[in-house]
């Protein structure tokens, strides 16, 4: 399984589309085996779900994400977890341990600064 976390530095990004990139983790049998950073190729409508699907991502984790993006990820067979915050390495451990739940929140405000409000 491959999990991508929208990230800014070592932290979960507040909004996946405006993140610096994606920290990906290959997880097998309850362990993170490989960690890699993929720079964000750019925020274009509908592009990132397909881009991450082509990278074999199974789950996307972010602080916030718009409704259309969430639907596009689901169409690409990628599970969406939103509402996460903190260090990416801590979040992946919570995911592995079954302690990470999606808040299901949808970003409705897309300010140019990349901040997101519910």
pTM for the structure as a whole? 0.88
CB-CB contact of 87 with 10 (8 Å): yes
Low-confidence winner among 23-32, 43-52, 59-68, 99-108 (lowest mean pLDDT): 99-108
pLDDT of the residue at 109: 53
> What phi, psi does 50 have (nearest 5°)?
-70, -40
Question: How many residues make up the chain in this entry?
Answer: 118
CB-CB contact of 109 with 17 (8 Å): no
Q: What are the tokens at 11?
A: 């932290």
| 9-29 tens-digit pLDDT | 999 999 888 899 999 999 988
Q: What are the structural domains, with CATH classification, of the chain? A: 1-7+40-106 (3.30.420.130)
């Amino acid at each position: 399984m491959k999990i991508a976390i929208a990230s800014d530095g070592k932290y979960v990004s507040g909004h996946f589309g405006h993140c610096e990139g994606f920290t990906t983790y290959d997880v097998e049998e309850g362990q993170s085996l490989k960690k890699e950073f993929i720079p964000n190729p750019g925020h274009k409508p509908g592009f990132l779900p397909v881009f991450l699907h082509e990278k074999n991502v199974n789950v996307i984790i972010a602080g916030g994400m718009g409704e259309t993006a969430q639907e596009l990820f689901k169409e690409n067979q990628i599970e969406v977890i939103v509402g996460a915050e903190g260090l990416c390495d801590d979040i992946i451990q919570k995911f592995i341990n079954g302690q990470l739940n999606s808040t299901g929140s949808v970003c409705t405000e897309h300010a140019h600064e990349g901040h997101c409000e519910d």
